[in-house]
Every structure is written in C-alpha cells, then in structure tokens.
Structure 1
Amino acid sequence: MTLRTTIMMMQACGALVFSTVIFAEDATNEINGSNIELQTLQVQGRALSYYKEDEAALATRTSTPIDVTPQSVQVVTEALIEDQAARQITDLYRSISGMSQNNVSTVTLRGFSQDEVLYDGLKGDPFGDFSIPQLFTIEQIQVLKGPSGAIYGAGEPGGVINYVTKKPTYEEKNTLKVSAGNKDFLSGSIESSGPANEDASQRYRVGIYSDGQDSYRNNVEEENRIIDLGYAWDIDENNTLNVQYTDIHQYISGARLRGIPTDDDGNFLADTSWNNNEKSDYQELDAQVFQARLDHSINSWLESNVLVRYFDNTETQKYHEISKLIDSNSDKVEREFRDQVRSREGITLVGNLIAELGDHIVLVGSDYFHQKNDFLYDKTTKGVAELSLSNPVYGQDDTSAYDMVPQTNESTTTDQIGLYIQDQWKVTDQLDLLAGARIDRIEEKYDGYKIKTGITKANYKDTGYSTRLGATYRINDNWKPYTSFSTGFVPQGAEDQQKSADGSLFDPEESQQFEAGVRSYWFNNKLNVNLAAYHIVRENILQTDLNDESLLVAVGKVRSQGVELDILTDITPHWVANVSYAYNDTRVKESTKGIQYANGDRFANTPHHQLGMWTRYDFPSITSSIAFGADYVSEQINRQGQTVKPYTVYDLSWQTRYDDWKFQLNIKNLFDKEYAVSGFTQKIGSFVGERRRVYLSASYDF
C-alpha cells in the first residue's frame, strides 16, 4: 500500500467516523427534546488539555518550557497512554515521530538502534535487553531526539527515551481495574495514592498489577506481575524526599520469541502463527529497583537535587533458534538449542546545583554510573530436531538430554563518571540561548571465556567530550523557530580493543547533529504544528580489517537525515487529533566491505516514511467517546537486504463513564492484518506484528 493510498484511507475513515459521531450526537439531542436551548460554552478540547505537555526536564535537567528548548522533545502523556489502552511501549510507536520497531524489545529512532532508556532521567533499565518495558508504573514517556551527550553522556545518536514514573499524590486517588480480551487475556490492578498524615506532608503510593495471556504464535503464553511502592516526605519547607521500590516478574513460554523466515520480497515462508520455539522454551525476567530523590532549596536563587537509582535483574532464556535454512526450496529448518542467563546489577548517582542568576539559569552537575553484566551461554546443535515451516511438529526432543557445549562465560564491569555545565540564557524577550558541555571518564573491565577466542581479560579507559549549542526565537505567538548543534559518543567495548592492528586504542564512536525546526500555533492555539529537520553523522564505527579478518578498524561512517512533523489539534471542543509523520534516510557512507553493509546501503529497519494518527470524538451528553487510530510504516530492509513489506494497521476505541466507573473497549489491528514490523536476517526472518486484539476494561475510582 502506498503512502498516498494510506493517507486517502485515513481521510476517508476520519470523515466516516466524524459523520457517524455527529449523527449519533444529533440523534441523542432529538431523543432528549427537539426545542432545547443550550447555553454556549467555550470549552478547551482534550488535545490541549490532556495530550499536550508544555514543560519537560528531560532536555536540560531543569523544568524548561518545550518552546524554549532548542532540540526536538516529544511527550506522550498519561491521558494518551490510557486512551490508547497502551500496556507496553510498543503500543505507542505511532505517537512518536521517527520511532519504529527494531526487534522485539528495541526501537529505531532517527535511523539508529536505541536500546538504552532512562527512568526519571537516570540510567538503570530493569527490563534488560530482551524484555519489553511495561507501562503500569509510568505516567509519561518523554523522548529527546538526537545526541544527548552534553547532558547524559554516552548514548546512541538517535535520541534518548525517558520513562517518568508515577509518584505519591497530595490528593487521595484509588483505582481498581480489571481487563479481559481475546487470546485469554486477563489482567487486574489496584493503585492507591494520597496523604499519609493530616497535612499531607507525607504521602504514599501502592500499585499492584498482574496479567496473563496467550498469543497468535504457537506455544507462547505470557505472564506479568509488578509491585510498585512509593513514599514522599516534605521534611520541611525546603526539603522533599521521594523513595520508590518496584519489583517486576515476567515469564513468557515459547520464547525467546524470534521472527519468521521470508523470501527476498518479504513474503513469510510460514504461517504467522509459526514459532521455532517449543512450549517448554521460556524467557523469564526478575528485577528489583530502588530509587530515591532529595530536593533541597538552598535560598531564593539556588537549589539542589540528589538522586540515586539501584537495580538488579536476571534474565533466563532457554530456547530453540534457527541455525540454518536447509535450502530455498526446503520446507524445513535446522535448529539449535540455547541456554542463556544474563544478570545485571547497577547503580546511578546524580547531583545537581541549579542557580537562577537574573537572565541565566545555570546548571552544574555530576553523575556516576556503575554496572556489572554477567553472561553465561551454552548451546548445542546435536540431536535437535528439524522443524517444518508448513506443518511444524513440536515435542520431538527431550531438551534435558541435550549435550550442551559451553560458549561464553563473561563478566563486564562499567564505570562512568561525568561532569557537566549548562547555561540557559534569556537574551531578550524573544531570544533564548542554550549552551552545555560535558566530560566523561569511562572505564570498562572484561573478564571472560568464549569458545572461539578462549579466555580473555581486557581493560579499557577513555575520556569523552560532548557539547550542545542552540537557540530559540519567538517571532510572535504563532511562530517559534529553533536551531541547535549537538554531539554524542559511544565508547568501544574493552574486548574489541584487543583487535586493533597496531595495538592502539580505538577512539569512541562519535556523532553530531544539526537540527532546525519551528513550533507554530494557529486558530487561537487550537492547532499546534511542530516541524523539525535534522542531519546526523556517526563516525568511528568498528569494521572488519580488510588485511586481517580477525582484526578491526574504526572507519565506519553512517549518515542519517530527515524531517518530522507533529500535529496536535482540537478540531472542535469535542473532536481532537494527534498526527505524527517522519521521513528518514539513513545510509552507510564509509565501510571496509559489504559483509553486512556496503557504502551507500540503507540501514536495516529504517523506513523512509512513517505516519501515525489518533483521533477522538467526545459525546458529553452521554459521557462517552469514540476514537480511531492508524499506523503506517513504509518498506524496510533487514540486515541482509531482504525486503520488509510496508504495512498499515488501524485501531478503534470506545470509552464511557458512569459515576465513578470507566468502561473502555479497544480493538487493535482492527482488520486483523498479517504483517512484519521489522526484519533481522535471512534465517531469523522478520518479526511478526500483533494480530487483532480486543480488550475490554472496567475501572472504578474510590
């Protein structure tokens, strides 16, 4: 389906929804009486009241209006998360321009794979590498696009994702919620938050969530459980302490879930229910997180905050993996069995001083990040039964009888300390400047065994520098352009440093971005339009040495450029729309040879076009609403150049309130489309998009 066809279908569906709801509301008014005179009220629509966020601390570590932030920032609010019945981050890609799915648990952002995320501005992802973040504890998702090195240190150049967690509230709020759906989906949760004493100087939060469901994929069942606790204390008028603890458990049978092989044109070679995993295969995650923050007001112009986040998790995976497509005409694949355990433990410490000095807001801060990763990996190919693509027969083997061969037993310890300074200068009433710089010292220790290389020990130390300079200008209430230059870096791994031809250390990967955009407001602020254009270059990517394939050289270079358009509008006081469009072109500019990429090649899983839409119409007379969503992603390629077909999926939602009850029906993938969200390799195939899912929920506030 072409982009033009998709847009026409969206317009037609939007017109149909609009005409339907107008007819329904007129019919309701006729039932209530044909000659009723209604008082005219000026009502602000849901988009600007609930979907729009005016401030965010992600880009600057200070509470800053987005209009004076010279870099693209996008916020998905709690109201939009609830309206779309989003349970995990994959449900929200349509609402974030430039973001698409890379594999099961990571995303592509502005053309680059992004797998590291922040929680309340702190490193420490409890979900690790392969588990999809759940949203029960999340009230907002913030995305800073482009390199973020000047404020957060080492990171991918496409941007950084920040999950803002739910905190204890000053007002009492209690919610009980149950949900059910097809594929035996069932979930329940209870959340309670509010004052713990009479003057609300102490507050609490308790949240418990559990769900279970089957899948369209063979052998797959999933269970999630989350316990979330919070305590806030206004120690005095100058000090506030917030403490949080979260316990997470996830179990998925028939996993680690992979793709389905395709031909070069992107056609699946098996039914989309096919799975290379047995029912006894599984992926299990257990994680705990402790987080605390102390805010201190020193005087009228100086304040500080200190933050700490500790996490540990263990991810166990016992699963079958495709090892070989026997041949292009065969119906069978060869498999191997893998037994992997990943354990992570980390702590982040952050301290900031924020000074308001006339027209300047100066930030001086430091952070320290320590993480230890342990990885144990055994596998076997002997005695593992082949599997048919057209008629899979599971349970042919006894996995306990496999003769496992140790592959990897390694431990990697990373320490990073950063110092940063930033100045937000209000030059005039129209002009704001932002300048920031950061220095990072990174040390990595590697101690491990790999079957291919034997026992290896390696230490790596390096220093990274990052800068950002930007400006915003308020022409008038309608036009607010901005421009910025930002840099970032990613350190090379300690193990890779052993593969230098001359024994010297590889420099970190370096990236830089030029971005220009404009935020505009129309029709008495009922229409908000954000337009951004960017150019990113990433260098020093390690490549295979042409003279010795056992060695590496840092000559890789990738260029990404594109345009993003985000529209948020109250079409009427009761009809809102949220539209996100992105164009991206990411290509390899320098490479030693085309084992995976050659010069000029497109990057894998970087669609040229993405278009997401969410529109909702409210019926105040019956306290109900209907909403419609669409998500279009253009053609992609996998890592070996095979096509990943374009797709468009549609969602539908209905919501109504009765006293303290809210009932909601969500239908995702309305027309039950079979599609791939992204691709990997020829043998692993493409990752299958979710088929039609129906969710009905009831929540009670008390």
Structure 2
Amino acid sequence: MSVAGAAMVSVPALAQDRADPPADDEIIVQGRAQQLYRTLVTTVGKSAQDPLDIPQALQVINADLFVDQGARDATDIYRNISGVSAFSYAGVTFRGFRQDQSFYDGQRGNPFIGFSVPQLFNIDRVEVLKGPAGLFFGPGSPGGIINYVSKTPSDRAALRTVVTAGNYDRFGISAEATDRIDADGVVSYRLGGFYEAMRPYRFNTLNKSLIGDAGLSIRTNPGGLLTVQVTTYDNYLRANRLRGVLVDDSGRFLGSIRWNANEKSDFLHLTSTATQARYATAIGDAITFDVGARYFKATERQKYHEPRGRNAANPDLVLREFRDQVRPVDGLSFAANATATTTLLGMEHRFQFGGDWFRETNILRSRILRSGVLPLSLSRPVYGRSDGDATRAMALPFTVTDTRSTRYGFYAQDQISLTEQFLLVGGLRYDRFDDGVTVATGNRVTARSRYADSDVTFRGGAIYQPRTDLSLYVSWSQGFEPQASASQATDAGGPFAPVTGNQWEGGVKSLLFDGRLQANAALYRIVRENILQVDPALPPVNGVDQLRPIGQVTSKGVELDLTTDLTRNWVLLANYGYNDARITATAPGQAITNAVGTRFANAPAHKLGFWTRYQLPVIRTALAFGGEHVSRRISLAGQTVRPYTIFDASITQQLGFAELMLRVDNLFDTVYAASGFSAQTGHFPGDPRTVFAELRAKF
C-alpha cells in the first residue's frame, strides 16, 4: 500500500500513526528533540498527502507542541502560525482578513459558537491551509481555513493523566485512555475527561471548563475503519463575556488591565455536544474512500454589561447597558471524498472527488436594557450596585433573529505527474447556498429576507521537485463568500453575486537532511472583489440606499516557516509573516467592513514567533524559550494598537513514568493589547505574567 493510501485508511486515527515514544517512556532522554514538531502527512486537502505535494502554503501544529507550550485553547497556538494574529475571541486576522470559521475533521460544525474559544484537550493537531480554500471547503474567508483534527481511539493500551496548578487559583486535572476491547484489536476505544478552573486577572472573573470525550473504532475489513465519537463541553465563565479596556488614541490603556465592565453576577455559559461518525477504507494501493457525518447542538447563554464609551461630563465614568442573550445553534453535515491513482497516456494521475452538505439553524434571542444602568469608574470601579439589572431586563421582550443556512458542493481535482519531478494540479468545485433570516420582536415579525445562489471556484498549480525532499510551486486558487441576506433586497439593488477571493501564490517547501530541516517560504497576492457598498451616485429606492459590488481589497505578503534540529538535542521552530492589505477600489466616502481608511483593523504588517527547546539527557531535563512580536495595528475605531514583544519559558524534568513542567508565560509581565476593537469597548489586554506547573504521568 502507498504512503498516502495507508494514511487514508487511518484518517480517523492518523494522529496515532506518529512515532510513538519509547516503551519505557524516557521521553526526554531518548531523542524526543529530533523531528519533534514535524508532520509528514496532512489531510487539510480532504485526503492524506505529503505537504510537499500540495501547491499551497499550509502549517500543521501537532500535539507535541500543544504539550510543550501548555496550550489549552486556540488562542494559545496562533503565535506558531505565520500570517495569523488575534482579532477577538476565537476570530483571527488571516493574511489581512478577518476570519471566524473553523472546521472539525474536514467538516463544518464548530461547537464553540458565539464568543467561546475552541479547546484543545481532544484535538490531536491543527491544520492550517492558507489562502482561498473554496475547492475543498466551499464558502469562506480568502485568508485561509483552520481545521481541527480530533484524537481518536487506538488499539495501543495507554493512560495519560495531567494535574495542573498555577497562579490565579488555577487548578485542573485530566485523563485519557485508549486500548483494544477484543484480543485481536478489531474494536478499540478512547475515553477522556478534562476539568480546569481559575480566577483570571480581570475583576470578578471565574472560569470553569469541563470536557468529556468518548470514541469507538471498528475495523470492518482489512482496509476499513469506522469511528464514532461523542464530545461534550460545558464552559462556565463568570463575568467573562469580556470586552476590552478603554484606551486613548495612542493605544495606552486608560485604566488597569484588570478593569471589567461585567458585574460578579454576569456570566457566559456554553453547553455543547458534537457527535460524528466516519468511515474510511482503501481498495488496494490505488483507491481510497471516506464518508462522514457530524451533528452538533449548542446553547450559549449570556448576561453581561456592555461598555458604551465614556461619559462626556466625567471621562472617568464608562457608560453601560445590560444584555440578556440566548444563542441556541444546531448543525448537521455530511461529507464524502475519494481518490484514485491510475496511469493514462503514460502519465500518473491522482484523481480526487468529493462532496459535502451542511445545514445550520442559528437563533439569537436578545434583549437590551439601556435605561437606569449605572456607569462604572475606570480608576475606582465599585461593583455590586447593578446586580438588579438582570431582573429589570426580564420585563423587556426578546428580539429573535432566526438564521437558517444550507450549503452543499461537489469538487473534482486531478494531479498529473508529467515526469518524476514535474506535477500539475487542476480542479473545480460547484457550490449552492440558501440563506434566510427572520427578525421578530414580541412575536411580531419585523424583517424577513432570503437569498439562494450558486458559484463555481477553480484551483490550479504546478510543482517542480528537483529532489524528493524539495518542492517549488506556483498556484492560483479561488474562494467566495455569499453576500449577507439582509443586503439582497431588490430595493437595495439586489440580488448580488458573492464576494470573491482570488490568490496567486508561489513558494518553496523542503524537508531536508533526512527530515531534520523543514523550511517553507511563500509569496502571495489576494484580490477580494464584489464587496457591497452604498453607491452615492444613485438615489434611494423606497427610502433604501442603493448598493453596488464596487469594493475591492488587495492583500500581499510573504511568509517564512522553519522547524529544525540545530543539534541532536536542540530544536527550533520559527515563523515570520509580512502582510500589506489595502483597499484598492471603493465608492467615494464609503467604508468597507473592518477597514479604517485604506487599512484593516488588527492586521499587522509584521509578525514573528519562535520556540526553541534544548534537552539535557544527563540530568533528564528540557529547557524551552519562546517569544512573539506583533507590529503596530489599528482598531476598528482607528485607534493605535501598540506593537508588543513577549517571551515565555519552561523547564521540564523527567521523573521516571512521569514528568513535571514549570512554565512562565509573559516572562517580563509586559502590559500589551492582544488586539483592538472599538472606541466604546477598548482594546483586548493580553494576559499578564502567568505561572503554572503540570505533572504528567503516562502508563
């Protein structure tokens, strides 16, 4: 069986195909540094492939890096990805564009809805495909996509437990186990549980997170595997529907970064369950096939105080309103993919076909109390006087926004080996979407809109491999995003074609010196078009401003990624991204979403990250040091988001069957803004110095 075919059979369990640690678990001593953070196979292209055979930039962050960096959620890993920086909550700036969408095991169905951040306990690796990904994933941001790959059952008996403790009253415990159920390993399982609680640095906050994860795998035939998984999440965040801290125009905080507009009685509570089944098989060395189904149901309840800017008469007072919101969401998706390798006209072809279908119901019930809500001092906040706002808000009717979305698409791609060194890639995809939004207040419908359309996207590329461990490539890829349903009204000039994104990219990928050096570089140019704007040259129709798809944005940049063994015991991971995203066509006097002037909010020109780890086998110890630099940005209000540089460090000591890690984040306790938002809600402060220890035992 070919490498790709073998990997495809085990797509649900691909994580377990990495080299296992030594049986005696001498993890640090026995060469763990070598090729520590490298991944040789990725499924980000919907089938298992060598990254060198994909003519588009990508990165894979694996569980080894999660462990070494003590990563708990998605925000902990952004520093390792070139071209990606924080925007707000789980949202990122991706090659200059805001992106909030995530995939799980190649399918839609993110259980972390609204303002919750994806957790990593049950995730084996994070795959990042950069640039438009319309061929494989359908509608989405042109910056790229993030795909979370789940941990899966294994027939290898293993038990891992972790106990965590740190400042801010942090305590956590987790355990996960895998093993075969029958003697022949036909049926295997995975069970996992995670709990963590802490009182973060913002006033009044308390976080509690619970995750339960269970999976069962059945080998149905010599080349087939059926995997069923269920994961439940319960995240309770007291006073933690967080906004930022207000700043002046130069980006300096006007109060302590501990300041919080939320009262102790405020909260955000997410409960969510995701269930999925996936079957993958191979027919000989030439054909692979997989099919999957995923269903999730989530509810996010929020009661919180929203800052509304400073009081003009007393700038120390921040005005507030109280919001009571409930967000029930559920989604169902199906996907199927197949690959076939054959020889035609003397050339090897790797055909790839697939399709997916997704339906989501997203409801927002919201009521906002604006009168009688007390302001809060920036310098001397006094809490507890506004706990009654929740009771007063109950007299208000809910405004209900009901959004129904359906997506389905089909794709085909052919990778042709013209020679052993030269490959051509070409593919196309057809997508159909149907969106509807109904808004009602007090059971009275106040607005209703619906829009359905279709689009075709293309992808092409060429790869030249002068040697098996080096690839030079050039590619062109497309993506699109449907226009907002509310903008499709005929009075506004609709309906309108989707927003499109087209990218030219060239680069080099390598895995040199027997895998000890993985270095990639990419140069790209993305043009995003058909952005709707009000056309001031046209008179309103029935009181509605006329829209036209005349907005255009161009994003250009360079990305460099390096993972290497400097010595047998010393590994280095580094990344750098340069981006210049600007508005290149617009209606006079009209803005584009997330833009201020010609620039975009939270889009740094420069971002640098690194992580290095040196192990000392003689004393069974590993030392690690990392950092991140993000250059100046602007917020949505045009206020400066100041550049920052922060550093982290850790020490890990082997203790036989266990290891102890002590980690310090933001080593020098730098005060900085992770991202900017509005003038009313301020900038999101980055975490101050955080210290924690982990005791990890593996049997």
Normalising by structure 1, we get a TM-score of: 0.91
Residues in 1 aligned to 2:212 and 2:643: alpha-carbon distance in whole angstroms: 38
Structure 2 residue 392 is the aligned partner of structure 1 residue 402: yes
Match of 2:419 in 1: 428
| Residue 632 (structure 1) shift | 0.5
Equivalent position SS for 1:489: strand
2:461 paired residue among 463, 470, 494: 470
Query: Which amino acid is 2:410 matched to?
Result: L
| Residue 62 (structure 1) shift | 1.5
Structure 2 residue 218 is the aligned partner of structure 1 residue 218: no
Percent of paired sites with the same residue: 40
* Contact 1:45–1:575 (CA under 8 A) maintained in structure 2: no
1:579 paired residue among 564, 574, 580: 574
Residues in 1 aligned to 2:51 and 2:34: alpha-carbon distance in whole angstroms: 14
1:385 paired residue among 374, 387, 390: 374
Match of 1:79 in 2: 64
Alignment of 1:540-689 (within 5 A): 540-546=530-536, 547-548=539-540, 550-551=544-545, 552-594=547-589, 596=591, 601-689=598-686
* Contact 2:35–2:565 (CA under 8 A) maintained in structure 1: no
Match of 1:516 in 2: 506
Alignment gaps of 5+ in structure 2: 1-28
Alignment of 1:127-146 (within 5 A): 127-146=112-131
Residues in 1 aligned to 2:97 and 2:601: alpha-carbon distance in whole angstroms: 9
Residues in 2 aligned to 1:572 and 1:153: alpha-carbon distance in whole angstroms: 43
Equivalent position SS for 1:333: strand
Residues in 2 aligned to 1:523 and 1:631: alpha-carbon distance in whole angstroms: 28
Once the two structures are superposed, what CA deviation does each residue of 1:629-668 show, in whole Å capped at 9, x if it has no partner? 1010000001121100000110001112122111111111
Query: Which amino acid is 1:530 matched to?
Result: N
Residues in 2 aligned to 1:232 and 1:524: alpha-carbon distance in whole angstroms: 33
* Contact 2:591–2:597 (CA under 8 A) maintained in structure 1: no
Match of 1:256 in 2: 241
Alignment of 1:86-101 (within 5 A): 86-101=71-86
Match of 2:519 in 1: 529
Residues in 1 aligned to 2:384 and 2:491: alpha-carbon distance in whole angstroms: 46
Structure 2 residue 480 is the aligned partner of structure 1 residue 485: no
1:52 paired residue among 10, 32, 38: 38
Equivalent position SS for 1:231: strand
| Residue 428 (structure 1) shift | 1.1
2:333 paired residue among 333, 338, 348: 348
| Residue 274 (structure 1) shift | 0.4
Alignment of 1:162-311 (within 5 A): 162-298=147-283, 300-311=285-296
Residues in 1 aligned to 2:682 and 2:472: alpha-carbon distance in whole angstroms: 43
* Contact 2:164–2:695 (CA under 8 A) maintained in structure 1: yes
Residues in 1 aligned to 2:497 and 2:170: alpha-carbon distance in whole angstroms: 49
| Residue 290 (structure 1) shift | 0.4
| Residue 450 (structure 1) shift | 6.2
Query: Which amino acid is 2:437 matched to?
Result: Y
| Residue 54 (structure 1) shift | 1.6
Farther off after superposition, 120-129 or 598-607 = 598-607
Residues in 2 aligned to 1:638 and 1:340: alpha-carbon distance in whole angstroms: 26
| Residue 423 (structure 1) shift | 1.0
Farther off after superposition, 514-523 or 415-424 = 514-523
2:408 paired residue among 417, 423, 444: 417
Residues in 1 aligned to 2:432 and 2:590: alpha-carbon distance in whole angstroms: 33
Alignment gaps of 5+ in structure 1: 1-42
Equivalent position SS for 1:169: coil
1:102 paired residue among 87, 104, 113: 87
| Residue 400 (structure 1) shift | 3.6
Once the two structures are superposed, what CA deviation does each residue of 1:264-317 show, in whole Å capped at 9, x if it has no partner? 100111111101111111111000000101123345533321100100100111
Residues in 1 aligned to 2:685 and 2:160: alpha-carbon distance in whole angstroms: 34
Residues in 1 aligned to 2:590 and 2:380: alpha-carbon distance in whole angstroms: 33
* Contact 2:236–2:267 (CA under 8 A) maintained in structure 1: yes
Equivalent position SS for 2:680: coil
| Residue 457 (structure 1) shift | 2.0
Equivalent position SS for 1:425: strand
Residues in 2 aligned to 1:144 and 1:105: alpha-carbon distance in whole angstroms: 17
Equivalent position SS for 1:82: helix
CA gap 1:353/1:519 in 2 versus in 1, 3 angstroms: closer
* Contact 1:448–1:455 (CA under 8 A) maintained in structure 2: yes
Structure 2 residue 488 is the aligned partner of structure 1 residue 497: yes
Residues in 1 aligned to 2:698 and 2:469: alpha-carbon distance in whole angstroms: 39
Match of 2:12 in 1: none
| Residue 329 (structure 1) shift | 6.4
| Residue 692 (structure 1) shift | 0.9
Once the two structures are superposed, what CA deviation does each residue of 1:515-572 show, in whole Å capped at 9, x if it has no partner? 0001245556533321101000111122234344843332221111100011111111
Residues in 1 aligned to 2:627 and 2:391: alpha-carbon distance in whole angstroms: 48
Residues in 2 aligned to 1:599 and 1:375: alpha-carbon distance in whole angstroms: 28
| Residue 495 (structure 1) shift | 2.3
* Contact 2:608–2:629 (CA under 8 A) maintained in structure 1: yes
Residues in 2 aligned to 1:480 and 1:413: alpha-carbon distance in whole angstroms: 43
* Contact 2:414–2:425 (CA under 8 A) maintained in structure 1: yes
Name the Cα RMSD after superposition: 1.9
2:449 paired residue among 458, 476, 479: 458
Residues in 1 aligned to 2:474 and 2:377: alpha-carbon distance in whole angstroms: 55
